Structure 1
Amino acid sequence: MSILWHVTCLLLLRSCTPGFSMQDGIVGGIDSVPHSRPYMVYIRDKVSKQTCGGFLVREDFVMTAAHCPQRHPMVYLGVNDTKHLPDGVEVEPFPHSEFNMNSTGHDIMLLKLKSPATLSKTVSTITFPKTKNEAISKDCMVMGWGWKKYHHESPSNVLKEANVTLIDSENCGTADTLCTEGSTGPARGDSGGPLVCGGVAQGIVSFSKDKANASYLAVYTHISHYLPWINHTIKSPTQQQYETWKGKLDKLI
């Protein structure tokens, strides 16, 4: 399984390595209406120039995959065409503590913006699940700046999107993943982008693999399985301090 993880991550990240650029689009996708997905975030490492997608979940937090840039990431908000980037925002990365590049699972990371976003028509947040067992629509959408062909560099600077359908969980994998299957979906460079179902970000693009019937299985981190970790990570320092002192007082009482 660790070998499969390594290979499939490379499939998504090849356009994120030096010498490549994230100027591509979802396989089988169409151009998004400019700024119609204002929660989408373009992520690029300042040093390595590695890139990924992400999405804004609060004015000061972006959600993405843990295998995306962690050392010197910058985020760009309100992007449609990567040839015309706004000023980048520095972030502090919070990858899941159990994530390991050599195995599957826990492929989720939060990036705390050092300067909170100013929300507008071109920059806004997207809702993520509130409960673990929340019902999910099978009709979903995936978007990003990844390759338009699975095995051929096919650059496109604009954001692209495609409709995808969730498959049954027993044909997917572990409980903390969601899957879509077919000739349409995320490819190299789309890591970290959202799987949006019913207007809610339910998954994070993690990896994909070829299937024997020439279709592709795309695997997404199932966000609702990480709600305790997410909620703990995005709590304000004031709220964390209050809960710490409340816990101490409860023990005394």
Structure 2
Amino acid sequence: MSLLWHITCLLLLNSCTPGFSMQHGIVGGKVSAPHSRPYMVYIRDKLRKATCGGFLVREDYVMTAAHCKLSHLMVYLGVNDTNFLPDGIEVDPIPHPKFSMKTGDHDIMLLKLKTPATLNKTVSIITFPKTENEEISKDCTVMGWGWQDYHHESPSSVLKEESVTLIDSANCGMADALCTEGSTGPARGDSGGPLVCGGVAQGIVSFYQKQKNGDHLAVYTHISHYLPWIHHTMNSSTQQ
């Protein structure tokens, strides 16, 4: 993933240092029905105000991208409009131990909620893969809160989503990632949000790159490749 990661840093990031954030956005997306994606989580650093997306995978855990790690993260559950945020919940960030900001490898992180979520109609858990080799639907959805244009700052305060189609791994260029390609999809900032395929969170938005034909290749961390680490981390906290 190293080469694409560095190219992406040059194309769309303000900086490629630990803690960078892309300010959420779906290009070509439609407005989601309010609270129709109750697993979606809005993540913000309470001091720097930098933001990322995430998704609830257990009452006490949110999954997101490791490059979203900052020092004072808060998560907001049941959000539709970011102008009306509920009380935030403090978290303990647990990035994958092999994550590298230089290469972008292992871009996955769990956030341990200091106060477990109360599940209801607007806050619920999304399923992630049960086994590494389970079949994945090619028809997927990606969602986020902001930039609606690849080149101009145009955030949306309400959640937006877009349908995307997985491409063959051979065309992705990375054996450990999932990719979609087209003129619409995740843009600057949908970092940490889920790639949902067949009702299952299969990927985590990591970065994107502009192609020679003008389309954009979106790259997602392949969640099923990290199941042992995910279960070990979550089960360890339960035992404690």
TM-score by length of 2: 0.92
Q: Does residue 1:62 correspond to 2:96, yes or no?
A: no
C-alpha distance in 2, partners of 1:231/1:100?
21
Alignment of 1:16-27 (within 5 A): 22=23, 25-27=25-27
Structure 1 counterpart of 2:209, one-letter code: K
- Kindly state the Cα deviation for residue 107 of structure 1 after the two structures are TM-superposed: 0.2
Q: 1:47–1:185: structure 2 CA closer, same or farther, 3 Å change rule?
A: same
C-alpha distance in 2, partners of 1:9/1:21?
11
Asked whether the 8 Å contact 1:57–1:127 carries over to 2, the reply is yes
- Kindly state the Cα deviation for residue 63 of structure 1 after the two structures are TM-superposed: 0.1
Name 1:223's counterpart in structure 2: 223
TM-score by length of 1: 0.88
Name 2:211's counterpart in structure 1: 211
Say which one has the larger Rg: 1
C-alpha distance in 2, partners of 1:209/1:6?
10
Q: 1:141–1:108: structure 2 CA closer, same or farther, 3 Å change rule?
A: same
Q: 1:27–1:14: structure 2 CA closer, same or farther, 3 Å change rule?
A: farther
| Structure 2 residue ranges without an equivalent (≥5) | none
SS class of match (2:142):
strand
Asked whether the 8 Å contact 2:64–2:204 carries over to 1, the reply is yes
RMSD: 2.2
State how many pairs are aligned.
237
C-alpha distance in 1, partners of 2:172/2:136?
15
% same residue: 76
- Kindly state the Cα deviation for residue 70 of structure 1 after the two structures are TM-superposed: 2.9
Name 1:116's counterpart in structure 2: 116
- Kindly state the Cα deviation for residue 173 of structure 1 after the two structures are TM-superposed: 2.4
C-alpha distance in 2, partners of 1:124/1:92?
20
Structure 2 counterpart of 1:5, one-letter code: W
- Kindly state the Cα deviation for residue 145 of structure 1 after the two structures are TM-superposed: 1.3
Alignment of 1:161-240 (within 5 A): 161-237=161-237, 239=239
Deviates more, 1:42-51 or 1:119-128: 42-51
- Kindly state the Cα deviation for residue 5 of structure 1 after the two structures are TM-superposed: 1.4
- Kindly state the Cα deviation for residue 238 of structure 1 after the two structures are TM-superposed: 5.4
Structure 1 counterpart of 2:176, one-letter code: D
Q: Deviations over 1:29-68 (max 9, x none)?
A: 0000000000000000112111000000000000000000
- Kindly state the Cα deviation for residue 151 of structure 1 after the two structures are TM-superposed: 0.7
- Kindly state the Cα deviation for residue 175 of structure 1 after the two structures are TM-superposed: 2.2
Asked whether the 8 Å contact 1:40–1:78 carries over to 2, the reply is yes
Deviates more, 1:202-211 or 1:146-155: 146-155
The list of structure 1 runs, each at least 4 consecutive aligned residues, that deviate by more than 3 angstroms after superposition, is: 1-4, 9-15, 236-240
Q: Deviations over 1:59-113 (max 9, x none)?
A: 0000000000331110000001110000000000000000011103200000000
